[in-house]
Amino acid sequence: MSFRKVLVASVAAGLMLAAAGASAAPIFGFTPEHADRQQALEAKFDQALSGEEMKGWLETLSSEPNHVGSPHDKANAELMLAKFKSWGWDARIETFDILYPTPIAEKLELLGPHPFTAALHETPVEGDRTSVQADRALPPYVAYQGDGDVTADIVYVNYGMPEDYKALEHLGISVKGKIVLARYGAGWRGLKPQLAEEHGAVGCLIFSDPADDGYATDDVWPKGGQRPPQGVQRGSVEKMMIYAGDPLTPGVGATKDAKRLTRETATTILHIPALPISYADAQPFLAAMGGPLAPRNFRGALPITYRTGGVGAASAHLLVKSDWSLKPIYDVIAVMKGKEFPDQWVIRGNHHDGWVFGATDPLSGNVVLMEEAKAIGALARTGWRPKRTLVYASWDAEEPGLIGSTEWAEAHAAELQKKAVAYVNSDSNERGFLGAEGSHSLQSLVNQVARDVTDPETGATVATRRRARAQVEGSRPGAREEAKAEAEIAAKGGEMPLAPLGSGSDYSAFIQHLGIASINLGYGGEGEMGGVYHSLYDSYDHYLRYGDPDFRYEVALAQTAGRVMLRLADADVPPMRLAPVSGAVSRYLKEVKQLVEKARTDDARFVALSQSNAFALSDDPTHPTHPPAAETPVEPLDFSAMDAAAERLARATTAFDTAYAAAVGHLSRAQAAALEPVMSGLEQALTAPEGLPGRPWFHHMVYAPGMLTGYGAKTLPGIREAIESRRWAEAQAYIAVVARTLDGYSSRLEQTTTTLAAK
Amino acid sequence: MSFRKVLVASVAAGLMLAAAGASAAPIFGFTPEHADRQQALEAKFDQALSGEEMKGWLETLSSEPNHVGSPHDKANAELMLAKFKSWGWDARIETFDILYPTPIAEKLELLGPHPFTAALHETPVEGDRTSVQADRALPPYVAYQGDGDVTADIVYVNYGMPEDYKALEHLGISVKGKIVLARYGAGWRGLKPQLAEEHGAVGCLIFSDPADDGYATDDVWPKGGQRPPQGVQRGSVEKMMIYAGDPLTPGVGATKDAKRLTRETATTILHIPALPISYADAQPFLAAMGGPLAPRNFRGALPITYRTGGVGAASAHLLVKSDWSLKPIYDVIAVMKGKEFPDQWVIRGNHHDGWVFGATDPLSGNVVLMEEAKAIGALARTGWRPKRTLVYASWDAEEPGLIGSTEWAEAHAAELQKKAVAYVNSDSNERGFLGAEGSHSLQSLVNQVARDVTDPETGATVATRRRARAQVEGSRPGAREEAKAEAEIAAKGGEMPLAPLGSGSDYSAFIQHLGIASINLGYGGEGEMGGVYHSLYDSYDHYLRYGDPDFRYEVALAQTAGRVMLRLADADVPPMRLAPVSGAVSRYLKEVKQLVEKARTDDARFVALSQSNAFALSDDPTHPTHPPAAETPVEPLDFSAMDAAAERLARATTAFDTAYAAAVGHLSRAQAAALEPVMSGLEQALTAPEGLPGRPWFHHMVYAPGMLTGYGAKTLPGIREAIESRRWAEAQAYIAVVARTLDGYSSRLEQTTTTLAAK
């Protein structure tokens, strides 16, 4: 067939497939009769699931603090090991030795006329049974800050994001030599001390403002579910967007004898001391501040006038000192060998370490993973075996830096890149709506699974409920363009697009470092869980009231993730549809081009405003401000390589999807065996060996956590971030790199299509 | 000339005129040599202006409470009468007797487990000398509420606007039989008790939330300029959008023997009791409330969880009792007869009554009006006389309902409609940027005056500074379409459009009831005046710190309003350019059509959401909500009459502007005399005798205060408000009324153009 004819034919086939996907009958990747068998299997799987059982495990696992290095962290790993074995899995614990600082000394004082010493402590509260163990927890801290003992004036930097520093410059406020006070929100926690350090600050405090996370959002724990005045959000501030995992062993597993960097040469550790504090501790500092009135978007919900400080400011003394010794971590790995393709691995993971008790984060997800493993064990006892190998992993040390998963992925990199079909992650799970992010090759699979799981609260399918929400959200006045587009797709009953993966849970090493197709699944959006995130109060009692009180969404997640695993394991051909990949790439390409256009418009506006002296003339001379500095003007960018690559990709995915639909169930055993590693390796063709600018650990050219978002994903990151930071030469260079990568992917696809068609 | 040729020629002429308007040379409405003479006159006028003098008057006038009926209110009128006379004006006091309720008893208590009695009192503060007279002021109250003694549960209704009631319905909360607690903001104060009453509430409390008006916006008085915890915003809740002025004498002057309605038959008085309260008084009520969590946009800056109440709610006892006797008011009227056209009146007004001391509101504007009159008196002593008659008026009883100005306008309606060329209003005045609103026939005049006044802070012209601000505001991320359009005009150096007049000061009767071209002028936008608005603390001391500390913007307003008055008085032909009128009408017509389109899109979306059951499916069943009710679907509207009228108007204004430019200075004395009343009557051709739907007092078909905005203007109100409320038949009827009115205006213009051209 000629090119053109292929295109037309396969577009039609693609539409048919999409239409078929919306009906109830087949399962993607299975012949009709195999689909019947699969549905029967899934029904049996569902029958083995028990909310009560998960509830019991959750209570046990969250009964004591289980941070990295704690006795209960190790005990939980050993408990799981025994369980996996008892369910018939081939299980083991893999241990790594990682740099994990734990606080030895912390002090924070307000100096001056109204001295105040911060409590830095979360107190036990009535109705939260484990909170009496407060003293067995580590004190609130952020991992991988810099340690230090500093005394300086304080500057309030709002969320501490780049635009906040611009706003402060506008007011003539510098943080050089100061301690910054930032509130949680708007960007990942670790960016706050990092940007503070880059701007010359000597220390960083991060507090939870009640506007975002406290009484303004609802009644506080234990009256309600929200963050109480003394509650503190712990967390990691490791620069995971440079590389994830142990700071001392980038790219390799932190095994006993691994070659290690020193703390000083590790590039993911900060240099200035930092502490997270409660809003009760923050208020006296904020109230004491002088300086200009804080801009409107800096204002939180404390009953004070928010000022920036920096001029006639309050002064503070901050001390943080940590134990920087190596600590052991325990990954629990359970394997059930595939009967047809034992060297094709479908991997499922959730972490088990928490900041304190971690009932929601991560144990609500971890007990689901256990329940799936138990149910799969029960299926296996009936004689069934997966076609492909299943690997269930409960990671340690996710909280400090996705370390358990990353070290394991790095230690087994070569084998994983050869064998891994996909990685399926979960973490916290609550009542609500299905959230799904990940590789677009798995979008159709996820959508079909969502069609086959019933929402516990409404009795509709979770797909229908997710569509309903998208429709309502997208119809709100002022909804963002993205939400409107999703609402339109939802209204037409189309496939809901997967959000891209950034960072923040254990999929990072799999997708972004190794190029293994990954998805992250979880329910949420109805509870009031934010209020205890990473605090002493993320407890079993809180989860029972606000997480998923009757464990029905725990069962729903097991049904969802379990189906994804079972279908990936048993499909005739690994269930990947690739039109969503080219669709996503085209959308992202359009977006980055719009960024350039926007930068051009901004430039023109800035020049006009400067030339007419409008900044100075519109200023209040009693509160003078500094006009914004001129930015590097937009340089011409040539997108033709990307345009061509995106077009070729669109043709290649359409051809593949058509060939795939025709081939399922019609391949010889030898053909299928030959195809398996090709299919599982497809996502790796979206990686480039040189990685992203300044962070070679990140190989994926379509998804990455943003350098200035931390968790939030940036798509086509090499191009997009260069444009956003106005590094035009780098943008042009990555247009070439990404286009080359996409061409490689298309080429691989074209070959695979030929293989599929040769039935 | 054929139609087409006229059009082309006059468009070109219009462009030339606009271009000329941007250069420095001529003064609009004057021949070049008359312009020279006028500029010399204005220079002399400027020399007579003294900030120090205004400062002294401000201190005297604001030294005691001057609310309607107070001894000092009368004393101020008498002081001004003496001043005007001493400056050579023919001055008198005109007295009216109006219904003006003053509080006799007020009580507000929180019942239940944590009882609390509201203070309802503003205390003296250090550094605010007049605040010690707190007990000589009326207690905080709102005028024309209903009186009553009620005990009921409380519901928090956010700003108490229509969309807030929709949000409450969504949560299943009704205010029927309840006392509502509303915060100030988002819409005119009087709408809050009115809408509460319409929704079945039995009482209404209005408080100033610190998020909008208190510590969140800056330090509070006397440390800073913002509203202190005990500060209360008084104000009128008379339904001025039905008719302004004395509630008992709609349409006629409240003279001794006027025929009066009774209090019960007056349609502008509320029926339920209402009280304004401070945020110190509001907090215990808000903190005691149960019920659902208040929606995000309901949340203010008090350190509590905002809930709606209404379910397990707090209960309150509210008592308000007033003295409803008639009170005398004192308008000071000063006249300087015109030497050429004594029957052509140019009127200037500002009120002199305040809620307490009223230093900013209204006296900062009133002393400017006095200063202008003094300077004009000085010019008159040099032998100069205005060509047209000048009328300077200091109104009483603006605060309760624009009463002094309205009664005077109604009492002299026939004479005013015959003689008034224009009405020029001011009110509060502070440091900052020139604000100008009003009839578009005066837009070019105002723009030219702005070009000729120097901004005290920057040395640029106030026009340049206003443009700079428009450019900066319009370039902010998320700027509204209107702001972006203004920024574009500003960047090109074009005429800044006048904002339309709604309500809120004394122009209402002139423009909207009588159809007299009006403008409202004032500086502002740099100070921190909001915090003492309508409170005990709107004092001389506050004005000295935060209003206009060195009285330079007081001088600037005198220069601005004085120039407008002198040019209107002395121009060869009254300085009206009409392209801005047709431009505004076209813009407004486009907007109302877009409203219909938007309603159509909303309908379609609502149907889709309802049919897919998306509202119920996206709900959290533990916090169930009520889906929005279906609205009357959009019916087809025929805009062709308006389209034709707007096109004819565009042609007519262009032809007029061309003829005007050619005629200035070339008319015979007889022609000029004949033209005068035609010109001054032009704006009246924009009125319709039937008035607006449900409010026949409002005759203007282009501008009105909105029925659901109170102060905020609605343009093409008969059509726009019918569309907004989905009264389709009414919208169609007013398309006809407005089109007929515009055709009448065009016809009048066409005749005037002929008169002008017949030189």
Q: How confident is the model at residue B529 (pLDDT cuts 50, 70, 90)?
A: low
Q: How far is A191 from chain B (nearest CA, A)?
A: 23
Do residues B323 and B104 lie in contact, with contact meaning Cβ atoms separated by under 8 Å? Answer: yes
Q: For A491, which of B293, B458, B608 is closest by C-beta distance?
A: B608
A493-508 confidence digits (pLDDT tens): 999 999 999 999 999 9
Task: Say if residue A142 is in the same domain as residue A265.
Answer: yes
A648-668 confidence digits (pLDDT tens): 999 999 999 999 999 998 899
Residue B340 has pLDDT above 70, yes or no: yes
Residue A58 resides in a domain: no
Contact call for A471 and B612, based on CB within 8 A = yes
Residue B6 has pLDDT above 60, yes or no: no
Task: Say if residue B153 is in the same domain as residue B53.
Answer: no
Instruction: Please give the single-letter amino acid code of residue A490.
Output: A
Contacts of B703 (CB under 8 A, 6+ apart): B439, B500, B501, B502, B511, B512, B713, B714, B715, B717
Q: How confident is the model at residue A335 (pLDDT cuts 50, 70, 90)?
A: very high
Contact call for A215 and B465, based on CB within 8 A = no
Residue B9 has pLDDT above 90, yes or no: no
Residue B504 resides in a domain: no
Task: Say if residue B339 is in the same domain as residue B308.
Answer: no
Q: How many CB pairs under 8 A join A and B?
A: 117
A679-737 confidence digits (pLDDT tens): 999 999 999 999 999 999 999 999 999 999 888 999 999 999 999 999 999 999 999 99
Q: How confident is the model at residue B7 (pLDDT cuts 50, 70, 90)?
A: very low
Of the listed ranges B454-463, B575-584, B666-675, the one predicted with least confidence: B666-675
Contact call for A491 and B612, based on CB within 8 A = yes
- Supply the angle between the helices B728-757 and B669-681 in degrees, to the nearest 10: 170
Residue A550 resides in a domain: yes
Q: How confident is the model at residue A527 (pLDDT cuts 50, 70, 90)?
A: confident
3-state DSSP percent of chain B in helix, strand and coil, to 5 = 45, 15, 40
Contact call for A612 and B458, based on CB within 8 A = no
Note the helical H segments in A150-247.
162-170, 191-198
Of the listed ranges B375-379, B460-464, B585-589, B707-711, the one predicted with least confidence: B707-711
CA distances from residue B759 to B571, B573, B575, B747, B755 in whole angstroms, order as listed: 17, 13, 18, 20, 8
Q: Name the helix (H) or strand (E) containing A472.
A: helix A462-474
What burial class does residue A514 get, using C-beta atoms within 10 Å of its C-beta: 0-12 exposed, 13-18 middle, 19+ buried? Answer: buried
Q: How far is A468 from chain B (nearest CA, A)?
A: 4
Q: Quick one: pLDDT at residue A22? A: 37
Q: How far is B423 from chain A (nearest CA, A)?
A: 29
Q: Quick one: pLDDT at residue A4? A: 28
Residue A2 has pLDDT above 90, yes or no: no
Do residues B360 and B529 lie in contact, with contact meaning Cβ atoms separated by under 8 Å? Answer: yes
Task: Say if residue A297 is in the same domain as residue A228.
Answer: yes
Contact call for B464 and A617, based on CB within 8 A = yes
Whole-angstrom distance, CA of residue A413 vs CA of residue A420: 10
Where is the domain boundary, B302, B323, B344? Answer: B323
Residue A488 resides in a domain: no
How much is the average pLDDT of A26-45? 95
How much is the average pLDDT of A279-299? 96
Residue B267 resides in a domain: yes
Whole-angstrom distance, CA of residue A321 vs CA of residue A333: 34
A597-625 confidence digits (pLDDT tens): 999 999 998 998 999 899 999 999 988 89
Q: Quick one: pLDDT at residue B25? A: 52
How much is the average pLDDT of A77-89? 98
Residues of B in contact with A299 (CB under 8 A): 216, 301
Q: Name the helix (H) or strand (E) containing A439.
A: none
How much is the average pLDDT of B158-167? 97
Query: What is the dihedral angle through the alpha carbons of A751, A755, A757, A759, rounded to the nearest 10 degrees?
Result: 170
CATH number for position B734 = 1.20.930.40
Residue A16 has pLDDT above 50, yes or no: no
Contact call for B617 and A304, based on CB within 8 A = no
Residue B22 resides in a domain: no
Tokens read off for A353: 């370490």
- Residue B9, phi-psi category: left (phi > 0), alpha (psi -120 to 50), beta (remainder): alpha
C-beta pairs of A747-750 under 8 Å, 24+ apart in sequence: A747/A652, A748/A678, A748/A681, A748/A682, A748/A685, A749/A578, A749/A649, A749/A652, A749/A653, A749/A655, A749/A656, A749/A682, A749/A685, A750/A652, A750/A655
Q: How far is B712 from chain A (nearest CA, A)?
A: 21
Where is the domain boundary, B275, B307, B323? Answer: B323
Q: Quick one: pLDDT at residue A697? A: 98
Contact call for A302 and B305, based on CB within 8 A = no
Do residues B466 and B450 lie in contact, with contact meaning Cβ atoms separated by under 8 Å? Answer: yes
CATH number for position B403 = 3.40.630.10
Task: Say if residue A282 is in the same domain as residue A174.
Answer: yes
Task: Say if residue B634 is in the same domain as residue B729.
Answer: yes
Do residues A160 and A191 lie in contact, with contact meaning Cβ atoms separated by under 8 Å? Answer: yes
Task: Say if residue B334 is in the same domain as residue B319.
Answer: no
Contact call for A210 and B303, based on CB within 8 A = yes
Residue A66 resides in a domain: no
Nearest one of B334, B362, B359, B377 to B562, comparing CA atoms: B377
Where is the domain boundary, B323, B350, B370? Answer: B323
Task: Say if residue B294 is in the same domain as residue B397.
Answer: no
A146-173 confidence digits (pLDDT tens): 999 999 999 999 999 999 999 999 999 9
CA distances from residue A644 to A647, A752, B341, B486, B517 in whole angstroms, order as listed: 5, 20, 77, 41, 62
Maximum separation of any 2 CA atoms in chain B, in Å: 84
Q: How confident is the model at residue A19 (pLDDT cuts 50, 70, 90)?
A: very low
* Average of per-residue pLDDT values in chain B: 94
Q: For A301, which of B303, B609, B617 is closest by C-beta distance?
A: B303
Q: How confident is the model at residue B3 (pLDDT cuts 50, 70, 90)?
A: very low
Q: How far is A295 from chain B (nearest CA, A)?
A: 9
A431-470 confidence digits (pLDDT tens): 999 999 999 999 999 999 999 999 999 999 999 999 999 9
CATH number for position A178 = 3.50.30.30
Residues of A in contact with B431 (CB under 8 A): 620, 622
Q: How far is A447 from chain B (nearest CA, A)?
A: 18
Write out the residue range of the structural domain in which residue A314 sits.
102-326
Contact call for B457 and A621, based on CB within 8 A = yes
Number of domain units in chain A: 3
Task: Say if residue A534 is in the same domain as residue A640.
Answer: no
Residue A23 has pLDDT above 50, yes or no: no
A397-437 confidence digits (pLDDT tens): 999 999 999 999 999 999 999 999 999 999 999 999 999 99
Q: Quick one: pLDDT at residue A21? A: 39
Q: How far is B470 from chain A (nearest CA, A)?
A: 8
Contact call for A617 and B468, based on CB within 8 A = yes
Residue B16 has pLDDT above 80, yes or no: no
Sign of CA dihedral B242, B243, B248, B252: negative
Q: Quick one: pLDDT at residue A758? A: 78
Report the predicted TM-score, pTM, of the whole model to 2 decimal places. Answer: 0.94
Residue B728 resides in a domain: yes
Residues of B in contact with A302 (CB under 8 A): 303
Nearest CA in chain A to B216: A305
Contact call for B210 and A303, based on CB within 8 A = yes
B567-608 confidence digits (pLDDT tens): 999 999 999 999 999 999 999 999 999 999 999 999 998 998
Q: What is the ipTM of this complex?
A: 0.92
Q: For A618, which of B306, B468, B620 is closest by C-beta distance?
A: B468
Nearest CA in chain A to B298: A216
Identify the bridge partners of residue A714 per DSSP, sorted by sequence position: A704
Q: How far is A486 from chain B (nearest CA, A)?
A: 14
Contact call for A301 and B301, based on CB within 8 A = yes
Q: Quick one: pLDDT at residue A718? A: 98
Task: Say if residue B622 is in the same domain as residue B744.
Answer: yes
Tokens read off for A533: 């995130």
B473-490 confidence digits (pLDDT tens): 999 888 999 999 999 999
Residues of B in contact with A215 (CB under 8 A): 303-305
Task: Say if residue A280 is in the same domain as residue A381.
Answer: no
Task: Say if residue A309 is in the same domain as residue A450.
Answer: no
Q: How confident is the model at residue B313 (pLDDT cuts 50, 70, 90)?
A: low
Nearest CA in chain B to A212: B296
